[in-house]
Amino acid sequence: MTRTPTVIVLILAGLACSGCAIGKLVGGMMQNEEYQKLKETHAVYDGLENKRVAVLIDVDMVTLYEHPEIAVSLATNVARRIATNVPGVTVISPRQVSEWQFRTPQWNTVPYSEICQRLNVDRLVHIDIYEFRLHPPGNQWLWDGVCSANIGIIENDGFDPDNYADMFNISVAFPDMTGVTRENATAKGVKHGLLTLFTRQTSWLFFTHLEPKHPKYYQGPIQDGRYDGN
């Protein structure tokens, strides 16, 4: 006669545990859905719209010697993103800018207003790269890439065309995990990842876009282009 209550208690306990498991499952699904959300982010600087623009890359000689292609790659890709996504903008050819830099050995001593005049632009996006590496200092066997730069905006028609009207700092890292060795990745892959991330973060300064609400946990596709609300 005493077994019936015991059985009922065991059944209720089992149902309670099952309910806990379902609750955890639902909670986990809701958390994962939150991690995959995108947020609308407006341009931090919208002064490139309807302007004639040049993208100018400044890299120290040591970095340029070790990675001679990064200046051209960044200039080309950032310029293309701006040209594609900023309304009414005209971006002059990165080749035209690099040729001017080559013909002007001391170009980085030229006043910004004069650079704008020589390139015939209203806005100058000056990307001053102060760190670019693929490995942690002193360890050539691990991949720990970093690309960091100050992004200065020159307004040739502004109050003070020889100084930045606005300035931003962009710093990206790739891979986004520790312990990646030469056996797991290549220099080409790490460099490509760095330049892709840097180009995206830099160009996003200038137009409305969608970016992950939780970048660390986001696993979906990234929409690099302009977001118009649709």
| Neighbouring residues of 180: CB distance < 8 A, sequence distance ≥ 6 | 142, 143, 144
Average pLDDT on 182-211 reads 94
Structure confidence at residue 121 as a pLDDT band (50, 70, 90): very high
Superfamily for the 41-212 domain: ABC-type transport auxiliary lipoprotein component (3.40.50.10610)
Domain boundaries, the chain: 1-35, 41-212
- What's the rounded Cα separation, in Å, for the pair 181 and 171? 22
pLDDT tens, 172-184? 999 988 888 988 8
Average pLDDT on 25-40 reads 70
pLDDT tens, 53-72? 999 999 999 999 999 999 99
What is the average pLDDT value for the chain, to the nearest integer?
Answer: 88
Tell me the CA end-to-end span of the chain in Å, nearest whole number.
68
pTM assigned to the model: 0.84
